[in-house]
Structure formats: structure tokens, C-alpha cells
Structure 1
Amino acid sequence: MRVLVVSAPLSGHVLPLLPLARALAEADHEILIATAADAATAARKQGLPVEDIAPDFDFAAIARGVALRHPWAAANKLFGTINAKLVDAVRDVTETFRPDVVVVEPLAVAGLIAAAGHGVPAVRHETNLLDGAELVQATAGPALRRLAIDRLPDPAAVIQVLPPSVVGPRPGWAMRYEPPAPAPLPSWLTETPALPRILVSRSTVAGSGNGNMMKALVAVAGSIDAEFVLVRPEPGLPPELPDNVRTIGWVSLDAVLPTCTGIVHHGGAGTVQAALAAGVPQLVVPGPGDRRHNAELVAEIGAGISAPLKGPSAEHLQRLITDDELRRVSVRIQDDLAIRPSPKDVAVQVATLAS
């Protein structure tokens, strides 16, 4: 069976698709990932074959001037524009590769359009905390209008990674979260520290972070009895950091989180899911697009705290460390995730669509 996996050209969008892609490849199915830019690089690092569908793709040029405060505006104006630009290339690779099944994330509707045009069953792989069907509806318009297509057919199947305890009941095949890109760690990060360890992570998308989230945290970190680890420190931090603040470049959050008491982050869907899978309470400083929704959802289900955009206070950080209820809820959701079928199990279900 040949499976085409289509992602928007951002690493945070392709990474959640890789566990299923690896499972399909390990089952001797032929896999091709169609994406571009940072996402193409991330997939290649995992040893998976990639078709770069937009060698000159420039996310910043498309995002510049687009207001992203509301998630549906982000889907329509930003990812709608991206898919309208990529739809021809995705149709071309579909024609050349001739897949038996197309797997897409909700913000890669160019893949759904290509699958429908070639009469191939499509699988929508949910990667977001927002409802995937609504994301597709919000995103598809520009590409459909460009091709004079009225509507997209429903996918042959939907994969749901998040349990009802997080997003409520949603139809589809259940699949558990698995780390998208396992990687070794420096030795000091593999050990559980004497003090509570708080991981601090910002967006992988240039220019769309949380302003001065890390700067605000560093300003109060010295008053907190904890170790803070800043992942990819943002520009503008003080040259001298408090003694309990350490920094590191890119690192696998999934690998570090088991040694952590909490995580402070920007509200990206992938980071939220990684923390839930690790059973680690979250302090979310929401950014644009879907990130405010994600922060509010984390707080609503009791797995974390939503902080102001200006950044976390000492009180927020102290609660993240000491609130036993946040940890209890986070561990319960971790258990909910762990009992779901594995990507290998779901790969078997995907294969039935090609028969």
C-alpha cells in the first residue's frame, strides 16, 4: 500500500503525523510525506521520504499583516492562503505517487482536495485541540474557490488522538499520543533534579511567540525554589541569569518532561499534548491563533493555568509547583491517553481502506 501524508509546511504540523507514518513504514507500506520548509526538514530527520512541494515557501511573507488573534481567522486567512498556494503541487505529487490512501492534518486541506480529485480515500489525522472538521471548513475556502469546487467530501476515516476527558466526545478512530521525534538528551537532563524542574518552551514559528514570556519569567525566577530550563531562549534576555535558570537549544520535550514538575509554554497544540501525555501540569501563556483557546481549555479541564499574555508571575509559578490538583488531573488524563490504541494498531485500520 502507498500512503501519502500531507502536512502544512511547519514543523509543528508534521511532527504529530510521524508516529503513524513510522508505524505504516514499519509495516512495509510505502510512505511519502508531502510538505515543505521546516516541516520537510523535520520529517527527513526521522528518516522518512519527503517530497518538498514548495522549495521557496516563506511562511513569514504569508503571515505578515494577517491578524491571527482568533483561531478561525488564522485558519481562513493564513492556512487558507497557504493551501491555495500548495494545492497544485499536492495534486501533482498525488498524480505521480498514486497513493492508495492519503493522510492529512486538518490544516492541510490541499491533501483532501487531491485525494477527492483522484478518488482516493482520505484520513483526517486530528492534531489540534480545535475540532478538525470545523478547521477544514474554515481553511478550505480559498483553495476550493480557486479550483471552482463546491465542497469537499467527508474523509473515509478520522483519527482522534485526544480523549473525551480533554475535548469531549468526538467521532473517529482512537489513537494514543506517542513522541513524534525521540532524541537523546544531555546527561544533566536525564536525571530528576533535587529541586522541582520547570521546563520553559516557546513557539517554533519565528515571530509568533509570546512577546517577552521568558523575560517575564526570568525576572521572577530567582524568588522561586525551583530549577528553570529555558528551551531555545528568546532574544533579549539579561546577560546574567539567576542561578536557578539554565538554557538549552532544541530538545525533545517528550524526553525531558518525565523529569519535570511543570512546563511553561506558548499554548501550541503539540506542546499541550506532550505535557498531557507526560502527566505534567502546564502554565500556558497564550499566543495568537488557536493558542488562546488551548490555554483556556487546559485551565478548564484542570490540567494547568492560563497566564496573562505579559507573562507568568511568581504566584503563577508557585501554584504550578505546589497545586496537587493540577497534577492529579494531569496524571488522570495521562492514564486516559495511555490506554488508547497505538499507532501500529491504527496503521492496520488505515490499511483496510485500500482494500
Structure 2
Amino acid sequence: MKILFLGAGSAATVYGLTPLATAARNAGHQVIMAAPRNVLPDIAALGITPFSATSTPIPHFRTKDRAGNPVTVPDNPVEGRLFTGRWFGRLAAASLEPLLGLTKDWRPDLIVGGTLTYAAPLVAHRLGVPYVRQAWDGKDFDGIDPGAGEELRPELDDLGLARLPDPALFIDISPPSLRPPHALPAQMMRWTPVNQQREAEPWMYTRGEQRRVCVTGGSRGLNFDFLKNMVETVSALDAEVVVAAPEELAAKLRDELDGVRAGWIPLDVVAPTSDLIVHHSGGVTSLTALHFGVPQLSLMESQDNASHGAALDRIADFGAGLSLQPGELTTDRIHAACRALLDDPSYTRQSQILAQEMASLPLASEVVAELEKLTA
């Protein structure tokens, strides 16, 4: 069987899909993962065949409409979700021609698209093959899909579709306790943290005398000032601080902040030795913290990240972490939240409950069998 996986413009989306893609390849199936050119090195580094869906840099779709006019990030969560759908819709539209060119010569039997890869259902419909939607994090997409549908109206009309096609199978990787009440029926799957690696050093996989706080802005690092502010605030705690960031940003941090330990630190190695993970409201980072049962503090820089908001709120409601909105990111609020998460053992206890739930879900290798049934 040939399976085409579709990621998006950040390494995190690749990491989210890799466990299932690797399991399918290990089961003997042919696998290609398509994504914007900027993340092809990440796909290749993880041993999967990459294909460029578009050479346009991903920030272009977020900051400009199809005519090249500037767009503004909304300042409220509802519009923020629609905005997210629209720019992922623009990414899908730009990806269609290259993807159809690929499938003309390498015809897949099945297409697996990540949460917001809207080209996946369109290409699958055009080819008449099953489409599977796999969550790459705990993001809710109810408020996002309508924005993508609006943006892709020309493409939907061309295919004679009133709306985006539903998947033949939805794969969810969230802990069952964090699924929203309105969640669609899903094939649950145990998700395994994936990221690019570097040589392991003893300090990464061992604990020191102090409690450890891991700070990360994700695989892209976000903007330097936001990351620097996160690190400076957390460094005021009585704890060891390590910063997982792309080397370019990490080097600047080391230059400007004395004694900070920053670099491309594999999160799956350092997370088990951490007492708290402070992050940028990243979906894959959040799942990694849950996987290892580590409390988390999510800091939302803008409403463009609102699509993660509901999932992070559910983590907070469960007592496994805390979340701060853009208007709440003061030094005092961040410091107080970190202190609460470090000093109250209930946060660790609740995080470990969710980790146990995730560990009980079907393995990716078991889910491959469900994919095979779709094409039988």
C-alpha cells in the first residue's frame, strides 16, 4: 500500500505525524510525507521520504492573502480560530498543484492529513481514495475548519463540493479525559514524542540537586524577545533552567544571559528529568509534557495560537498545568504560576494520571491495521 502523509510548515507537524508514518513504513508500506520545503530536512532526518508541497515560506500564508495584501492577526479567540483556518486554507490552495503532480506519477492508496492540512481531503476526493485525518496535537478544529472552508471556496466549487469532505477515519492522540464533550468518534492512538536528536550528555538525562524547569519556544523558537522574556522570568526561580531552542536563538540567549544553558536539547530526553515545562502554547510540546507526566505552563503570545487555547484550558481544568493569555503575560503572573506548579504536588499527580491514560492507548502499529482495512 502507498500512503501519502501531509504535514504543514513547522517541524512540530512533522513530529506529530511521524509515529504513524514510521509504523506504516515498518509494516512494509510505501510512505511519502509532503510538506512545505522549509521542513523537508526534518522529514528526511527522521527517515521518511520527503516531498515539497510548496516552496513559498510559511509566514507568507499567515501574513498575506492570495493577492499578496497584508492581513492582520485578530485580537480575539473566535476570530483567531477563523484566521488560522484561512491561512492554512491558503497553504492548501498553494499545495494542490504540486500534490496532484506527485499523485499522477505516484498514486497513493490512502492519504493521511494532519489536523489542519486541508489539501489532504481535496486531493483524496480528486483521486477517489480514503482520507484519514490525524490529530497532531490536542487542538480543537471546530472553529478553524469554517475559516478554511471560506478560503477554499473556489477549490471546493471546482470539485463540486459544498464543504470540506469528512475523513473516513479520525485518529485522536489526546488523553481520553481531555477530549471535549462534542468530540467526534475517533480511533484513539498512543502518541510517542519525536524530535530531531543530538548527542546525549549526562546532564540531559540525569537530575541535579535543584528542581529543573525546561523552557521552550518550540522548534521554530518564535520571536527572540518573547523567548528571552520567558527565560529571564523563569530564571528568577530557585531552580535549574534549561532552554530548548534552535541553535541560532540559543546562541543569542547565551550571549545576552550569563550562564544560561540553551541549545537544541531533545525534549524527549530532557522532559523526564524536568519538574516543569514552560512553553509557547505549542501542541506537540504540550503532548510531550503530558506523555512524561510533567506539569506545564503555556504562555500564549497571540490569538493566532487560539486554536490551542481550548485544549490547554482542559489541561488546566484537569489540574495538570496552567495557561496564561496574551494580556496576562506579566513577570509577576508568570512567576506566580511557575511557583504554584513547582510547589503544589497535585499538578504532578494529575499530569501522571494523563500520562497513564496515554500509555494505555493503542500503539501506532495497531492503528496501521485500521488503515489497511480502509483500502481492503
TM (norm. structure 2) is: 0.85
Residue 226 of structure 1 pairs with residue 219 of structure 2 = no
Alignment of 1:184-195 (within 5 A): 184-195=199-210
Of the three residues 101, 114, 128, the one matched with 1:105 is: 114
Displacement of 1:291 after TM fit? 4.1
Of the three residues 282, 291, 298, the one matched with 1:284 is: 298
Q: Secondary structure at the match of 1:181?
A: coil
| Structure-1 separation of matches of 2:176 and 2:162 | 32
Query: Relative to structure 1, is the Cα distance of residues 74 and 294 closer, same or farther in structure 2, using a 3 angstrom cutoff?
Result: farther
Query: Relative to structure 1, is the Cα distance of residues 240 and 40 closer, same or farther in structure 2, using a 3 angstrom cutoff?
Result: closer
**Residue matched to 1:297:** 314
Displacement of 1:124 after TM fit? 0.5
**Residue matched to 1:342:** 363
Residue 212 of structure 1 pairs with residue 226 of structure 2 = yes
Q: CA RMSD in A?
A: 2.4
Query: Relative to structure 1, is the Cα distance of residues 188 and 235 closer, same or farther in structure 2, using a 3 angstrom cutoff?
Result: closer
The farther-off stretch of 152-161 and 14-23 is 152-161
**Residue matched to 1:67:** 73
The farther-off stretch of 96-105 and 72-81 is 72-81
- Partners of 1:284 and 1:305 within 8 A in 2: yes
Residue 255 of structure 1 pairs with residue 300 of structure 2 = no
Residue 89 of structure 1 pairs with residue 98 of structure 2 = yes
| Structure-2 separation of matches of 1:209 and 1:3 | 35
- Residue identity in the other structure for 2:316: A
- Partners of 1:217 and 1:313 within 8 A in 2: no
Displacement of 1:204 after TM fit? 3.2
**Residue matched to 1:201:** 216
**Residue matched to 1:26:** 26
Displacement of 1:60 after TM fit? 2.1
Of the three residues 321, 335, 340, the one matched with 1:314 is: 335
**Residue matched to 1:78:** 87
The farther-off stretch of 317-326 and 260-269 is 317-326
| Structure-2 separation of matches of 1:235 and 1:85 | 34
Percent sequence identity over matched residues? 27
**Residue matched to 2:2:** 2
Q: Deviations over 1:156-190 (max 9, x none)?
A: 11101002211235311110110223634222211
Give the aligned length.
Answer: 350
TM (norm. structure 1) is: 0.90
Q: Deviations over 1:185-205 (max 9, x none)?
A: 222211112111100000334
| Structure-1 separation of matches of 2:94 and 2:16 | 23
- Residue identity in the other structure for 1:119: G
Query: Relative to structure 1, is the Cα distance of residues 296 and 191 closer, same or farther in structure 2, using a 3 angstrom cutoff?
Result: same
Q: Deviations over 1:52-72 (max 9, x none)?
A: 121x22122232244155342
- Residue ranges of structure 2 left out of the alignment (5+ in a row): 64-70
- Partners of 2:212 and 2:242 within 8 A in 1: yes
**Residue matched to 1:163:** 175
